[in-house]
Amino acid sequence: MNLLQRYIIQFYSFLLKDNANGLSIAFFCKSLYAFLFLKVIFSWPVLQKIVLYSDSVFWDQYKLQAFFIVILISLLVGLVVRVNYLVSTIIFLLSFFLSRWSKPITNGSDLVLNLFLFISIFFSGRAAFQNEIQQVLSNAAMLFCRVQLALIYLLSGFDKLRSVAWRSGDAIFSTINLRYFFDPLLDIEVSKTWFMLAGRGIIIFELAFAFLIWVPKFRVPLLWMGVAFHLVIIFLLNLPDFGLLMILTYGIFIPVREEKRISGKIKIS
Amino acid sequence: MKKFSNILFLAFGLHLLISFLFILSPVSLGKTRVSRIYLTYLLPGPFFSEARIVNSDIFSVSWKINEQWSVPIDPGWEYFKRYQENHNPTDLYESRLARTLYERLQMHVLAEDEILKGKPFLALRKYLDDYYIPNGADSIKISRIRQKAKDFVISMDTLNVISFK
């Protein structure tokens, strides 16, 4: 059996898994909803200012209040009820709309959030699948989330690998001197060797994550390393939204009980 | 169902192929609208790329009242420091908004008269009037300093100043 055939078999076996992973999906989706809920609450005073200081003719304070109520209610419903297509779609659309409108205060976390909220539309939150389409769609969405997370790390890791500044550690020096990001009270004075080690360590971690996350024995250690990496981003680079969201997306990789395989259904012609 | 699974398999394969092309050679698929949408929404990142971490623009505003210039303030920085003290994310969002209002002026690109005629200037002016500049100020000055952190050295790269009444 060649490599391609093996991948095809693995792909089909994943799509045809009959364990709906309801808990795992609920944990993943609801953590994203909770994140968005907190983001709306904390950014609300600033969103009102964005309307005041932008030349938007669409928004006024009444529409703004209505949007605020609708998004919070949708998120509360999403947090309480079982994950379903309708609520997931509404939440994705509201989040997409919100990030378009709040562009002055958005960052990479908003793009990542919207990507995963979009994919989560196809999740089935039921304990058991009702039909084969639901089963294949939900499993494909889960696989797609995992692939996307790995690709995000691969893109960042490869970009850094190409960068002389990242390989030499100069980029770490640049990062800790970024105004409005790095804690101004912290004074880090280390040799260039340490900067280089940190820069290369980050490159190795990001590239390793993209590939080794698929190997079960490396998964848990990589997730813990990722949590530590993003905690540094939260506390030293003052990007709580980005760091927290990346940690939450790990939910899609949290090992669940070995699912029942239906290998008998797989036939490769 | 098999047909549907086959379509999904092909879609996955195509997506992976396009993504690898973008990752390995970002310019290979050109700068079309489709590639921009793909990169923005399907392949977010790369984060902390070299081009984005070298420069920091430092903005400040001061005003003249009773023939005396005030101490320059940087609203974005003030909010950022406040976040350091209380860890309220709202202050971070405030800081980002203040910085964006300044950055939209494009002081490093546009001439002073172009800046003063633009909508971003009106928005910033309104923001400063509402929160910072006291009544009776007869002149206002906005400055931008580019801080560059490269080759393990920090330098002040450029300086732009605009003044208006």
CA distance B162 to B46: 34
Contacts of A39 (CB under 8 A, 6+ apart): A241, B89
Element (H, E) at B158: strand B153-164
Do A120 and A88 contact (CB within 8 A), yes or no? yes
Considering only CA atoms, which of B122, B81, B130, B124 is closest in space to residue B100? B124
> Pick from B40, B84, B154: which is nearest to A177 by CB?
B154
A256, pLDDT greater than 60 = no
What pTM did the predictor assign? 0.91
- Chain B residues whose CB is inside 8 A of the A99 CB are none
B130, pLDDT greater than 80 = yes
CA A112 remoteness from chain centre: 5
CA distance A166 to A170: 6
A220, pLDDT greater than 70 = yes
Interchain CB distance below 8 Å, A180 and B88? no
Q: What residue of B is the nearest CA neighbor of A143?
A: B12
Do B92 and A95 contact (CB within 8 A), yes or no? no
CA distance A121 to B37: 20
Do A50 and A102 contact (CB within 8 A), yes or no? yes
Instruction: Tokens for B115, please give them.
Output: 């800046």
A257, pLDDT greater than 60 = no
- Angstroms from B74 CA to nearest CA on chain A: 11
- Chain A residues whose CB is inside 8 A of the B56 CB are 177-180
Interchain CB distance below 8 Å, B43 and A179? no
A56, pLDDT greater than 90 = no
Backbone dihedral angles phi then psi of residue B163, each to the nearest 5 degrees: -125, 145
- Chain A residues whose CB is inside 8 A of the B54 CB are 165, 174
> Pick from A104, A151, A177: which is nearest to B100 by CB?
A104
CA distance A111 to A103: 11
> Pick from B47, B84, B93: which is nearest to A43 by CB?
B93
Contacts of B143 (CB under 8 A, 6+ apart): B59, B60, B61, B72, B159, B160, B161, B162
If you count them, how many residues does chain A have?
Answer: 269
Interchain CB distance below 8 Å, A111 and B149? no
Q: Which residues of B30-41 are buried (b: 16+ CB within 10 A; e: fewer)?
A: eeeeebeebbee
Tens digits of residue pLDDT in B1-29: 778 888 888 999 999 999 999 999 877 77
Which of A87-91, A189-193, B49-53, B132-136 reaches the highest mean pLDDT?
Answer: A87-91
Interchain CB distance below 8 Å, A46 and B83? no
Tens digits of residue pLDDT in B58-75: 999 999 998 899 999 999
Which of A3-17, A172-186, B73-87 reaches the highest mean pLDDT?
Answer: B73-87
- Angstroms from B27 CA to nearest CA on chain A: 13
> Pick from A43, A132, A185: which is nearest to B1 by CB?
A132
- Angstroms from A156 CA to nearest CA on chain B: 4
One-character DSSP codes across A33-87:
HHHHHHHHHHHHHHHHHHHHTS--SS--HHHHHHHHHHHHHHHHHHHHSPP-HHH
A260, pLDDT greater than 60 = no
Q: What residue of B is the nearest CA neighbor of A185?
A: B84
- Give the confidence band of B91 by pLDDT, cuts at 50, 70, 90: very high
One-character DSSP codes across B104-157:
TT-TTTS-HHHHHHSHHHHHHHHHHHHHTPPTT--EEEEEEEEEEEETTEEEEE
Interchain CB distance below 8 Å, B8 and A156? no
Q: What residue of A is the nearest CA neighbor of B98?
A: A104
B55, pLDDT greater than 50 = yes
- Angstroms from A65 CA to nearest CA on chain B: 18
Interchain CB distance below 8 Å, A136 and B80? no
